């Protein structure tokens, strides 16, 4: 009869499970350097959003700047990040200390009310840059909407899927049909009313013409009045749906490969770069 040592068997099983479980590569996310008319707190918020986006995409396991400060210590982090002559050895040392083969750094600038976010990711083991990204936005909300694309480009991962346009297109289509239907119904009502008035006017010009009973014309005019009301309602509803569809229509996704930069000038700032 074969007997198993239960503690040894459990440990071996746990080791097999841990070995079979795939692990994500770790990436250290350094604090964004701030420049221009930017409050340092805004840079911290954007840095947290970048870290959260990396975690949400699931390709890497991020180590936030706050965790880096905790793991390395504030003074040690300052020493490593203050390297100037041999920056590659510094990044390698940071990565080795954190157990993260990848390191993301970047900057956030604000000039004349325009934000510019720069991100880059370095493979410290191979001493090469995986990807870079530069995004420009006119306000904070616009910059926040560009973070998923900036993270994807810098990390060399697939871009986020384009936002769905099913709802806005449906609203615009239904609104267009309502607007056209209201216009057609309005034209029918106007033609009916015009024909009725013309028929009634013939009695004044030609007494020999025999008209239908008055109730017939009264009912016809009431019907055209109802048609005009329905036509106006359809026109207004169609215009409202078209406007709502245009309002909720998501913006086009930023094109990959756009290289732009925010450059200070004598009169303010200018956007320069290469667009595909």
Residue owning tokens 């048609």: 227
Is residue 11, in this structure, part of any structural domain at all? Answer: no
- The number of distinct structural domains making up the chain is 2
Is residue 144, in this structure, part of any structural domain at all? Answer: yes
CATH number of the domain at 42, please: 3.40.50.10070
Is residue 105, in this structure, part of any structural domain at all? Answer: yes
Do 94 and 71 form a contact (C-beta atoms < 8 A)? no
Amino acid 207: pLDDT: 63
Is residue 52, in this structure, part of any structural domain at all? Answer: yes
The pLDDT-based confidence of 230 (bands split at 50, 70, 90) is very high
For 6-28, what is each residue's pLDDT tens digit? 444 344 433 433 344 447 888 98
Long-range CB pairs of 38-41, under 8 A, 24+ apart, other chains included: 38/108, 38/109, 38/110, 38/115
Is residue 215, in this structure, part of any structural domain at all? Answer: yes
Do 119 and 64 have their domain in common? yes
Buried b (16+ CB within 10 A) or exposed e, 86-98: eeeebbbbbbeeb
The pLDDT-based confidence of 180 (bands split at 50, 70, 90) is very high
Is residue 216, in this structure, part of any structural domain at all? Answer: yes
131 compared with 264, residue with greater pLDDT:
131
Is residue 14, in this structure, part of any structural domain at all? Answer: no
Do 69 and 199 have their domain in common? no
Do 105 and 28 have their domain in common? yes
Give mean pLDDT, residues 32-36.
83
Do 53 and 172 have their domain in common? no
Do 48 and 95 have their domain in common? yes
φ/ψ of residue 109, rounded to 5: -125, 145
pTM of the model: 0.60
Number of H-type helices and E-type strands within the chain: 8, 8
Do 78 and 128 have their domain in common? yes
For 59-108, what is each residue's pLDDT tens digit? 899 988 888 777 766 556 555 555 544 555 566 677 777 788 898 989 99
Do 83 and 35 have their domain in common? yes
Do 52 and 122 have their domain in common? yes
Do 94 and 27 have their domain in common? yes
3-state helix vs strand vs coil in the chain, percent to 5: 55, 20, 25
C-alpha dist (Å) from residue 173 to 4, 185, 222, 248, 261:
70, 18, 31, 14, 39
Amino acid 209: pLDDT: 61
Q: Which of 86-90, 123-127, 177-181, 189-193 has the highest mean pLDDT?
A: 177-181
Do 95 and 135 have their domain in common? yes
Do 70 and 152 have their domain in common? yes
What is the span of the domain harbouring residue 34? 23-163+251-274
Neighbours of 220 (CB within 10 A): 16
The pLDDT-based confidence of 234 (bands split at 50, 70, 90) is very high
Do 106 and 28 have their domain in common? yes
């Amino acid at each position: 009869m074969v007997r198993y040592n239960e503690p040894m068997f459990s440990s071996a099983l746990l080791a097999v499970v841990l070995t079979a479980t795939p692990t994500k590569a770790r990436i250290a996310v350094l604090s964004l350097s701030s420049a221009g008319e930017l409050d340092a707190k805004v840079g911290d918020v954007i840095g947290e959003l970048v870290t959260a986006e990396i975690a949400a995409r699931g390709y890497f396991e991020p180590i936030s700047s706050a965790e880096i400060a905790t793991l390395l210590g504030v003074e040690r982090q300052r020493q490593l990040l203050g390297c100037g002559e041999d920056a590659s050895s510094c990044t390698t040392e940071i990565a080795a200390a954190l157990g993260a083969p990848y390191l993301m750094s970047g900057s956030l600038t604000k000039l004349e009310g325009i934000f510019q976010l720069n991100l880059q990711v370095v493979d410290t083991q191979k001493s090469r840059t995986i990807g870079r990204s530069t995004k420009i936005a006119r306000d904070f909300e616009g910059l926040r909407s560009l973070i998923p694309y900036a993270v994807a480009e810098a990390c060399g991962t697939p871009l986020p899927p384009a936002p769905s346009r099913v709802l806005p297109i449906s609203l615009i289509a239904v609104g267009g049909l309502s607007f056209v239907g209201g216009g057609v119904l309005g034209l029918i009502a106007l033609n009916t009313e015009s024909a009725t008035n013309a028929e009634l006017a013939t009695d004044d010009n030609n007494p020999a013409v025999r008209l239908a009973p008055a109730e017939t014309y009264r009912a016809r005019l009431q019907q055209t009045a109802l048609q005009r009301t329905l036509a106006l309602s359809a026109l207004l509803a169609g215009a409202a749906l078209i406007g709502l569809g245009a309002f909720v229509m998501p913006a086009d996704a930023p094109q990959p490969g756009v290289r732009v930069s925010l450059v200070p000038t004598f009169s303010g700032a200018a956007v320069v770069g290469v667009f595909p």
